[in-house]
């Protein structure tokens, strides 16, 4: 089966600009996650969707970050305006909901550099 797809793979912007990332989860996976991984750190959850509803967005900086999953499939994550500290790899993951113990499958990530 095809894996989690993300685009773009790399993005360089200047601070105060806006940027958007796209994620297409594995077909049939109802749960989708966005993680931020800063260099030298582990991934940190930003937001979790179940179908098109938000399950957990407690760690999403809502003053500048937004995410949506309108039809319960693809998702976009937006940063507006970007700050230097937003430089990171943004990972999307998905999982099927058969039990609580199905693994999260990760995409390759989008590496964002804010200058």
Partner 1 sequence: DQQVKQNSPSLSVQEGRISILNCDYTNSMFDYFLWYKKYPAEGPTFLISISSIKDKNEDGRFTVFLNKSAKHLSLHIVPSQPGDSAVYFCAASLGGGSQGNLIFGKGTKLSVKP
Number of Cβ within a 10 Å radius of residue 5: 14
**Shortest Å distance, C-beta 52 to partner 1:** 17
Q: What is the total residue count of the chain?
A: 115
Query: How many binding residues for partner 1 (CB under 8 A)?
Result: 25
For partner 1, the closer of residues 23 and 82 by Cβ is 23
Nearest distance, CB of residue 92 and partner 1, angstroms = 8
Under 8 Å CB-to-CB from 62, ≥6 apart: which residues?
none
Q: Over the range 6-30, which residues count as b (16 or more CB within 10 Å of their CB) and which as e?
A: beeeebebeeeeebebebbbbeebb
| Least spacing, CB of residue 16 vs partner 1, in Å | 28
User: Measured from the CB atom, is 14 or 56 closer to partner 1?
Assistant: 56
Site for partner 1 in 8-67 (CB under 8 A): 31, 40-45, 48, 56
Whole-number minimum distance, CB 49 to partner 1, in Å?
Answer: 12
Written as one string, the DSSP assignment of 48-69 is EEETTEEEE-TTS-TTTEEEE-
DSSP state of 39: T
Chain contacts with partner 1 (rule: CB under 8 A): 4, 31, 40-45, 48, 56, 91, 93, 95, 97, 99-109
């Amino acid at each position: 089966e095809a894996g989690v797809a993300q685009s773009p793979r790399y993005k360089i912007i200047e601070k105060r600009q806006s940027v958007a990332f796209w994620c297409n989860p594995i077909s049939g996976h109802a749960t989708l996650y966005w993680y931020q991984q800063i260099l030298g750190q582990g991934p940190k959850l930003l937001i979790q969707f179940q179908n098109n509803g938000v399950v957990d967005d407690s760690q999403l900086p809502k003053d500048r970050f937004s995410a949506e999953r309108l039809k319960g499939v693809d998702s976009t994550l937006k940063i507006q305006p970007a700050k230097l500290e937003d430089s990171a790899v943004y990972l999307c993951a998905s999982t099927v909901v058969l039990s609580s113990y199905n693994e999260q499958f990760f995409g390759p990530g989008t590496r964002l550099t804010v200058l």
